[in-house]
Structure 1
Amino acid sequence: MASEQTTLTVQGPHGEREMRISSPSRVIWPEPGITKLDLARYITDVGDAFIAANGGRPVALQRYSGTIEGEMFFSKNPPKGAPEFIRSTPVVFPSARSHPMLILDEPAAAVWAVQMNTIVFHPWPSRADNTDNPDQLRIDLDPQPGTDFDDAVPAALALKEVLAEAGLECFIKTSGNRGLHVYAPVEPSREFLDVRHAVIAAARELERRMPGQVTTAWWKEERGQRVFVDFNQANRDRTIAGAYSPRPLAHAPVSCPITWDELERVEPKDFTILTVPDRLKTVGDPWADMHSKPGTIDTLLDWWERDLKSGLGELPFPPDYPKMPGEPPRVQPSRARRQD
């Protein structure tokens, strides 16, 4: 028996492409009954905004073999069988090894990724023609247990002020879960470690202003009921769900760009695969002009140097990273005390 399949017509910069979708009726989100074809249609409907936000960058694919409750894996190398119009570019990973990564240049490429069972798209903060130098400073505001989205909102507003003082205009989106992602476009003239240090400097300044509400503590046992400013998302090969990317949660949410004026009244659960296409038609893309006026991280790096002189040094790196210069011991504080 022939396998079930259909085709989807996808508009793009080179005209229409007919994209094959196998198993179109396979349910991916059981609760709302959203299928693989529904997901492909969603990507088609938001295609221009999706590519504007995520295209032209190395992207990792978070793929699922069945529903969102099934087996998941990440594809960093381009999946086999990519159409000829989809390209890749070599990138250097923290191990110092180089591998090719997929680049999405048009909506049809993202639809093909859906055909390959991708749900979440994780773009790098750098572009394909300059992968070592990010053109986005990204800060992940992650509510810890005992806190929620409503706690992340005042932290985001205060962070906006901090970044403005550093000469940066910033943009915001929901994470698709409980948190918020703040982006600032920057000139791609500094490498990843510099950008990480800039993020740490901004995070520490935010923590000074809201010590009871936010934290830069890497170890969970030290965070308390505060919003964690996840500085390690600024590292090479560390990504967060892209703008307009679906998330593998029961109600099929989307990581959705919003305006700063909307922030204090939105409900993240309202941004889903079923609602975001109509939102784009009615309110437009809040990130459409993101890269029209990129800033620099020079002031933030001045703050980093200031903090170094006052005794605030490097912070821990992710556990799979090689040991980095100046990094404190990678030992959980409570365990270190027991060892002493």
Structure 2
Amino acid sequence: MMNYLRTNMSLVIKTIEMHAGGGGVRIVQSGYPKIIGDTLHDKLQYAQKNLDHLRKMLTHEPRGSNRLHGIVQVEHDNPEADMAILFLYTEGYSNFCGHATIGLGRYAVDHGIVRRVSPETAIKIQCPTGLVTAHVEYENGRAGAVRFECVPAFVYATDLMINMVDYGDIKYDISVGGSFYIYTNIKQFGLDLVTSSAADIKATAHKMMKAVGDTITMTHPVDDQPAVIGGVYFFSGPLASLPDTINEICIFFETVCRSPCGSGSCGLLALLHHKGLIKEGDVRRFVNSKTQSVFSGRVVKQVKVKDTPAVIPEISGKAYYTGECTFFCEQDDPQPSFLIK
């Protein structure tokens, strides 16, 4: 680094860059201040209050974009966990991200954060949404494919109808796979997963999220806290006739997912199981209709979330390294981060 820059740096953060199914993953290696708190929830609140400028620096332009999720490792307070993390993205701090978990699984094994075991290494990851177990293939000194068992996924409501301007009556379901998602057939909107533009699909998803949000007040069954729709998961055709390979695209807040959306696919597995369309162990392939990237998933077992029937979903995929970065911010930079929507 040039000498005159060294004297003008407010901070330097180093990261490893990856992607899983096309979804960007930015893992902080060094430079992030210690995140204080007795519990992961406390640490999340501390980061929101005291370190949000760093989240923006890493996920907003000119260094980031809404196409990636950042990961910051913190000390875990769950005695079962091997590690704990916070997920960063352009809009804030997400409870969970499936493609980022796939990237983190490979990274943790490759970098010796956990004891490596062949042919598969298990990692228990404490996330804001709960404890997630990742299983990472490990052979010949190299980590491979990752499968993770998510927190319980459950159906919130099914066979709902809403009348939308320009579209008429739209049928949809709400299911939860770490976040609350709307599940709906994109053909109802006169759109196509492949030929319609990502911009049109995103705009339609936002209209749907607003319409549903204005109509339904939701609470999470665990803590009765208010819940919001995190995204819209579009598929093509009637739910009952979806094939083993499901073409999809998910809009998560401002993001058009580049991967087949791990958390969204967890919710879909719960929905398919709830409707009797799959049973435990049945494998489904999820294909992002824009990138053609593939994850696979299955229902591992049935559980309950309080009194609500739920399932443990498992998602499998691969992650790849794309680079390593050293990010810095000069003290007199008038635009350390910005976000254009």
Normalised-by-shorter TM-score class = under 0.3
Whose RCO is larger (CA < 8 A, sep 6+)? 2
Q: TM-score scaled by structure 2?
A: 0.27
Counting helix residues as a fraction of each chain, which structure ranks higher? 1
Q: TM-score scaled by structure 1?
A: 0.27
